[in-house]
Amino acid sequence: MIHRGSATLRSGTRTDQGRAATVTKRIGGYARISLDKDGDELGVDRQREDYTYYAAARVGWEIVRDYIDNDVSAYKKNVTRPEFERLLIDLKSGALDGVVAYDLDRLMRQPMDLERLIGIFEDNPKLVFGTVTQDYDLSTTDGRTMARVMVTMANKASADASRRIARKHRELADAGKNGGSHRAFGWNDDRVTVKQDEAELILKAHDDLLAGTRLSTITRSWQALGVKTARESVKPISRTAVKAILTNWRLCGYRAVKGEIHYGKDGNPVIAEWASITTPERVSAVREVLAERSEKFRNEGNTNGYRYLLTGVVRCAECGTRMVPKRRSDYIPGSKRSAFSYACPTKSEGGCGKVSRQGEALDSWITTLVHDAQAALLAAPHAEMPETFPGEARLAEIEAEKAEYLEARRSNKITASTLIALLEPLEKEQEQLKRDRNWFVVEKARAQDTVNLSDDFERLPIERQKAVIMKHVKAVIVHPVGKGARKFNPELLEIVWA
């Protein structure tokens, strides 16, 4: 494996008489490969071996640090190469006296990156530079000119290859065929038939997400099960990878490009060649839920919301402010005292600071009330949710109307401006109906999420417990207890049922 040390701040050696001997040049070695499918770093290891031999043949050159960007593109402008950036910083600060790489295109494929490096060499002409394949002297005008020509050619080669690959992927997408060479999570190696055990994980995760479970909780459960990505990464599966799996449009049999549905010439989603795992409505609902949670977190940033059962539900009767959970710093595990309380914020925090209540006692009481309410609800006759979204017929009508207007435009019966004027209100209505359908799927899943509170409740993750509570309770109003009163009194609680 590759050793990445720290740059040594030794500038040279001297004889006992103080006369200068061979000056040691502190060299940074750089290696990069754009694609490492197996993650074994063999490509960058080979580059490192070659430039190490090259540096050893140069008098006084000593590689003091390896800068390795494995599985990272140098062509894509939106990609940051962490080790390349570190290399530039160390060269500029004087921690290095030069750099060596296998080839110039390992260092750079964008002219702007070359100019950044040239700027550093112009500021310090004593810096040295070398590549295994060719020699470029960035301290001279001729050397810099040749480097610019070579990087420009490498950039053009990358652009041409990118254009050809993009066109090929477009053709595959239009035909609904697989792109790439690896299977996707949920499918077998033939990339067409469903891998049953992974599909079951996906479907359960969808159910849990729609019922209120957080993505982080699902990620931890997959990690505990030893679930790996389709490429069998040695690292534990990440939250980002789980999210990408659960929101992939290919799950419902749609062909996607860069994470978005690919539409055919007829304006409809391209149906792929592989078997589907779930429905488009289900995937759309999962994406809607995750987007809403991300937006809520950005706006509120409340990390306590998933640590305590009644966060956001309990309110102060004196000022109406939401009460916040506060853990007692003097709590001793096993003691009879409460570990935390729900308290009204102080005046400086927007509340009155006059009301608080024992956390465990309040949680327990509300859970019991919800248990009784749910049992009564299940026993009583109630209207079932419809099997299909009530707006489905209108969505079909909109599609038919849009097709009719498009045909009229193709036949020159209406102008382009008239077409746009007709389509815009339809598309707006269609978008709203699709969002309504997403939340219909979510509410239907939550309505079917029946939990036996006496048996299952404690085993649920905290966010699912909150979802169960909030299905029945809109707010809990907490009244002051009065002076000297410490015993928990349920009569001082006012429940606002959902």
Instruction: Give the pLDDT score at 160.
Output: 80
Could you tell me if 402 and 370 lie in one domain?
Answer: no
pLDDT tens per residue, range 177-233: 988 778 999 999 999 999 999 999 999 999 989 888 889 899 999 999 999 998 877
Q: At how many degrees (to 10) do helices 239-246 and 196-211 cross?
A: 90
Here the CATH number for the domain that contains residue 224 is 3.90.1750.20
Tell me: the pLDDT tens digits for 313-352?
Answer: 999 999 999 999 998 888 888 777 788 999 999 998 889 9
**Residue 161 main-chain phi, psi, to 5 deg:** -65, -40
Same domain flag for 471 and 417: no
In a domain? residue 433: yes
Domain shared by 371 and 477, yes or no: yes
pLDDT tens string 379-391? 555 557 788 889 9
- The answer to whether residue 58 sits within a structural domain is yes
What secondary structure does DSSP assign to 118-147, as a single string? HHHHHH-TT-EEEESS----TTSHHHHHHH
DSSP per-residue string spanning 184-222: PTTB-TTSSSB-HHHHHHHHHHHHHHHHT--HHHHHHHH
Q: Do 56 and 135 reside in the same domain of the chain?
A: yes
Domain around 111 = 25-156
Give the domain CATH number at 30. 3.40.50.1390
The DSSP result for 169-182, as a single string, is HHHHHHTT---SSS
Same domain, 64 and 114: yes
* Final residue before a domain boundary, out of 301, 322, 348: 301
Residue whose tokens read 């009644």: 310
Structural domain ending residue among the three candidates 97, 131, 156: 156
d(CA 365, CA 360): 9
Q: Are residues 432 and 471 in the same domain?
A: no
Handedness of CA 33, 36, 40, 43 (dihedral sign): negative
Q: 3-class SS at 20?
A: strand
The token pair at 448 is 């079917």
Q: Beta partners for 61?
A: 25
Q: Are residues 425 and 467 in the same domain?
A: no
What single-letter DSSP state applies at residue 95? S
Number of domains in the chain: 4
C-beta neighbour count of 414 within 10 angstroms: 16
pLDDT in tens, 21-39: 567 899 999 999 987 766 6
Question: In this predicted model, what pLDDT tens digit does every residue of 410-463 receive, in sequence order?
Answer: 999 999 999 999 999 999 999 899 888 888 888 887 776 655 555 567 777 888
| Averaged pLDDT for residues 157-167 | 78
Same domain, 432 and 328: no
Q: Assess whether 69 and 152 both reside in one domain.
A: yes
Residue 302 has pLDDT above 90, yes or no: no
Q: Which residue is listed with tokens 């009163």?
A: 485
Residue 446 and residue 468: Cα distance in Å, rounded? 9
Residue range 148-171: mean pLDDT, rounded: 81
Alpha carbons 199 and 140: distance in angstroms, whole number: 60
Helices (H) then strands (E): counts for the chain: 13, 12
| Domain membership flag for residue 179 | no
**55 in a domain, yes or no?**
yes
Query: Both 127 and 42 in a single domain?
Result: yes
Tokens of 149: 């020509």
Of 104, 139, 156, the one marking the end of a domain is 156
Are both 312 and 429 inside the same structural domain? no
Q: Pick the residue with more confidence: 22 or 8? A: 22
Has residue 227 been placed in a domain? Answer: yes
User: Do 491 and 374 have their domain in common?
Assistant: yes
> What is the identity of the amino acid at 318?
E
| Mean pLDDT over the full length of the chain | 84
